[in-house]
Amino acid sequence: MNGSDIIVQVLADEGVDTVFGYSGGAILPTYDAIFTFNENRARTPNEQIKLIVPANEQGAGFMAAGYARASGKVGVFMVTSGPGATNCVTPIRDCMADSVPVVLITGQVPTGAMGTDAFQEAPIVNIMGSCAKHVFLVTKPEELEATVRTAFEVARSGRPGPVVVDVPKDMQNAVVPFQGEGLLPIRGYRQRLESLRSARLSDRKCKQFFELLSRSERPLLYVGGGIISGNASEELRAFAKAFNIPVVTTLMGLGAIDTTDELAMHMLGMHGAAYANYAVEDCDFLIAVGARFDDRVAAQPDAFAPLARAVAHIDIDAAEIGKVKQVDWAHVGEAGRSLVQLTEWGQTNGFKKDFGPWLEHCRALKEKHAWNYDRDSEAIQPYYVIECLNRITDGRAIVATGVGQHQMWAAQYFDFREPRLWLTSGSMGTMGFGLPAAIGAAIACPDRVVIDVDGDGSIRMNLGELETATTYNLPVKVLLLNNLGDGMVRQWQKLYYEDRFSGSDKSLHRKDFIKAAQSDGYGFAVRVTRKEDVEQALKDFIAYDGPAFLEVMIDTEAGVYPMVGPGMTYRQMVTGDFIAAREQPVPLTKGPIESTDMF
């Protein structure tokens, strides 16, 4: 077989049903191979590989990421050399930051032309090397098959992540035997994986954990995206219920526990629930699982969970243990397996402790410091829009977002009853993520309602993907919360820069998003400007059979609260005018922030 046919056959062998990508000269042989592969399976369309063509390569990357996040499978995208490949740097880094398994296949100029500044040449190994989990450059045609197979192994195993395979054009055209099996000899990596898979908690370590738990009166589970990527949600829920321990999640951990569950304390962090952050302040034993003490959660690590007499940490990545916060008990291993072992040991050894007073305290926190906003305002409040949509979808829709205020409102006011319903760019905070990610999710989960909650600033970044949804008749629901500017930047400028709205007013008020959606083929394209029309418009929007676009003109002054300022502690959290604060916080606007402080 020639190299391009080998690539496509390996994709099929790995269970790939969809490739997202944009063609070009250096990858044309492999695109042609997809056409031939599908033509030979014309009578068995379920065995074909769908090819989804976006508006640009970044969109392809985020579609593959949305597909992977929603399905748990490896997402695949394929682009040409030079600018095609460099347009994928952002989605690759985004997937690395959020531990999302994708494989990117990039075309490259022929090996003989590499290093000559040939047409559409870019040094992908150098560019992607610091952004991806691993980058392969194929220079021997007989290694192509094993390289592509190994890329999938690396992407999905251990701590998942993105893998890039750079394939020069002559490697795609070379003719070599197809083996149908085989991997590259990456012995050290496989040995580390085997040690992770076989890692078991000893009786001694289990006993130490439960000794810490027995001395605790106020234990709290702090859960991150590792539970989602590790498919450990069931094990987490079983552990929490077995020992009656409340759970707070990071932004990436939403859905790890049903947010409507009595043990769920929702999201913690910079814009987390006030009651979640107060629970962190009050707990005396913090149990971190699949979480990394990110700066949006623990801006001051020493002051994070200040009353905790002990901190435990379970993670698949040894580098995360003690990286930010020192812990008293730790285990490197798969989250699900580790939680099962702890649950079984505790039950077998008859561990019982009444955490009733602590659970009652947490219930009181949830009641007193619940999410809230100005419900009497005549202007449309974004929180109200999300609340209405949440009632309609009952916490069972897949929700993708862009990045900004709308992202935080969606995280706060939606319920997530299952894992893999929440797709957002967490660590990288990439504007333009939401729409293409929703398209990828709609392909991965055709029976689900898929909603992109977006902002007018964020959606502009990949607005061209509106046409992708209609081209493939994907019933993605695009909800645009339009506040005529970069709302999150404006919020910071109000707080820290004395209302100097440099660049954030956008000055881009000419865009008629409804006409744009209509021009891209949306049969449902509606704008809402009155509060009394919101609920019915949302019902029509969700009920519409096909791609739908709903623009809601929201209060331009609406902010995201609670808010923990940069470098501050939960004790200094500002809850705004409508969420009850437990104590008087330190004023947020103490003066200009340093340029080194996080955004």
List residues with catalytic annotation: 57, 119-120, 169, 488
Three-state DSSP string of 551-580: EEECCCCCCCCCECCCCCCHHHCECCCCCC
Q: DSSP secondary-structure letter at 2?
A: B
- Packing angle, helices 405-413 and 382-393, rounded to 10: 40
Q: How far apart are CA 494 and CA 491, in angstroms?
A: 5
Sequence-distant (6+) residues with CB within 8 A of 539 are 392
Amino acid letter, residue 310:
A
Three-state DSSP string of 209-270: HHHHHHCCCCEEEEECCHHHHCCCHHHHHHHHHHHCCCEEECCCCCCCCCCCCCCEEEECCC
Sequence-distant (6+) residues with CB within 8 A of 116 are none
- CA neighbours within 13 Å on the CB side: how many for 307? 15
Q: 10 Å Cβ neighbour count for 534?
A: 21
Are the CB atoms for 283 and 220 separated by under 8 Å? yes
CA angle 443, 16, 418 (to 5 degrees): 50
Q: DSSP secondary-structure letter at 318?
A: G
Are the CB atoms for 196 and 334 separated by under 8 Å? yes
Q: How far apart are CA 422 and CA 400, in angstroms?
A: 6
